[in-house]
């Protein structure tokens, strides 16, 4: 009987979860590697302790790639292609990814036959939708849902693609910046390769029941490489914003963003894109 309920639990989990394929190297998975310009994976973040490389899969195909920091429980960055929207509203569900739970050793099932099947997906040590409730922070998308068509838009609603974001920043200047990028990508690019990430704070966390749950990043950043039909660079740019009520996004070049990121690493940042998107 117990085995039957465990099987049923696993089935329910399969039905409600988006999949994140944990890979050793993005280069090993061509359908995931394609989100990086000319297959160039940044050196930035590669030495992050406990980093997990996720190929974000939804409805049986990949939609973007994420380098995930399992210690701080936020992404180092996500890499994606811009897609013009084809309509469709915001996803009403937030997906969890059991593969990441297994990776950090905190996934468990709890089935209760008397009350029907219930699935307790993540323990106290793992990320949860509830971590953000009454925290004072938005679940801020890194890879924005507005830069995608359905079903890729739906795939962005995963906890490995959000960070605690100051509401004023998320709903104002960062939102406006993402909208400006939408206009740019639509008018100037045959394809746009985008990286967007977060810089974790030293010791600022969402705390629940005296447990540090999710790190509150100090900064958000993004960078893009806009190319023509032949994959030749047309334009590039970047931006960074302090995750506070300052509500200010600073526009940068890709090289300037590299210099900014270097402040937070004792390893060389290297190129964010192949040849840093130079023609």
Q: What pLDDT was estimated at residue 127?
A: 63
Average pLDDT over residues 154-174: 95
Average pLDDT over residues 176-198: 97
100 pLDDT higher than 70: no
DSSP string for residues in 53-77? EEEEEETTEEEEEEEEETTTTEEEE
Give 180 or 2, the one with higher predicted confidence: 180
Average pLDDT over residues 207-235: 96
Q: Say how many domains are in the chain.
A: 1
Residues 6+ away with beta carbon under 8 Å from 103: 22, 52, 70
What average pLDDT does the structure give for the chain?
A: 84
Q: Hey, is 133 helix, strand or coil?
A: coil
231 pLDDT higher than 90: yes
Query: The domain spanning residue 89 has which CATH number?
Result: 3.40.570.10
Q: What pLDDT was estimated at residue 15?
A: 37
Provide the sign of the torsion angle of the four alpha carbons 147, 152, 158, 160, taken in this order.
negative
Average pLDDT over residues 175-198: 97
For 48-84, what is each residue's pLDDT tens digit? Answer: 999 999 999 988 899 999 999 999 999 999 999 999 8
CA distances from 199 to 2, 73, 206 (A): 44, 12, 15
| Cβ(193)–Cβ(224) below 8 Å | yes
For 232-276, what is each residue's pLDDT tens digit? Answer: 999 999 999 999 999 999 999 999 999 999 999 999 999 999 999
Q: What pLDDT was estimated at residue 129?
A: 73
Q: What pLDDT was estimated at residue 110?
A: 32
pTM of the model: 0.83
Average pLDDT over residues 122-149: 82
For 23-49, what is each residue's pLDDT tens digit? Answer: 999 999 999 999 999 999 999 999 999
Q: What pLDDT was estimated at residue 85?
A: 80
Run of H or E residues at 4: helix 2-16
Residues 6+ away with beta carbon under 8 Å from 10: 109
ω into 151 cis (within 30 of 0): yes
Q: Encoding tokens for residue 160?
A: 């490995």
Domain holding 64, by residue range, is 2-277
Q: Hey, is 198 helix, strand or coil?
A: strand
Long-range contacts formed by 125-134: CB under 8 A, 24+ apart: 126/73, 126/101, 127/73, 127/96, 127/100, 127/159, 127/160, 127/213, 127/214, 128/96, 128/159, 128/213, 129/94, 129/96, 129/159, 130/208, 131/206, 131/208, 131/213, 131/214, 132/162, 132/164, 132/206, 132/214
- The alpha carbon of residue 227 and the mean position of all alpha carbons in its chain are separated, in whole angstroms, by 23
pLDDT band at 193 (very low <50, low <70, confident <90, very high): very high
The pLDDT > 70 percentage for the chain reads 78
126 pLDDT higher than 90: no
In degrees rounded to 5, what are phi and psi of residue 34?
-65, -15
Measured between alpha carbons, how far is 150 from 87 in angstroms, rounded to an integer? 7
128 pLDDT higher than 80: no
First CA to last CA distance, the chain: 64
Q: What pLDDT was estimated at residue 2?
A: 42
């Amino acid at each position: 009987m117990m085995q039957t309920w465990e099987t049923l639990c696993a089935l329910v989990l399969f039905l409600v979860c988006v999949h994140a394929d944990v890979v050793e190297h993005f280069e090993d998975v061509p359908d995931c590697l394609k989100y990086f310009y000319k297959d160039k994976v940044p050196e930035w973040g590669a030495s992050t302790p406990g980093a997990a490389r996720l190929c974000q899969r939804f409805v049986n195909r990949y939609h973007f790639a994420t380098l995930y920091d399992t210690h701080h429980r936020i992404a180092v960055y996500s890499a994606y292609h811009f897609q013009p929207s084809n309509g469709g509203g915001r996803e009403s569900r937030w997906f969890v990814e059991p593969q990441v739970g297994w990776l950090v050793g905190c996934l468990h099932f709890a089935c209760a036959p008397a009350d029907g099947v219930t699935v307790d997906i993540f323990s106290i040590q793992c990320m949860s939708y509830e971590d953000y409730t009454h925290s004072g922070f938005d679940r801020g998308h890194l890879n924005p849902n507005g830069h995608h068509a359905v079903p890729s838009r739906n795939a962005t609603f995963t906890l490995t693609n959000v960070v605690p974001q100051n509401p004023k920043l998320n709903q104002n200047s960062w939102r406006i910046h993402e909208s400006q990028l939408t206009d740019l990508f639509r008018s100037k690019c045959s394809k746009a390769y985008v990286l967007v990430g977060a810089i974790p704070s030293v010791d600022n966390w969402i705390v629940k029941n005296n447990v540090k749950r999710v790190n509150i990043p100090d900064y958000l950043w993004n960078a893009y490489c806009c190319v023509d039909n032949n994959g030749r660079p047309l334009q590039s740019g970047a931006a960074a914003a302090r995750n506070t009520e300052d509500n200010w996004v600073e526009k940068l070049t890709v090289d300037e963003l590299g210099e900014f990121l270097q402040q937070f690493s004792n390893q060389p940042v290297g190129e964010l894109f192949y040849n840093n998107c130079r023609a």
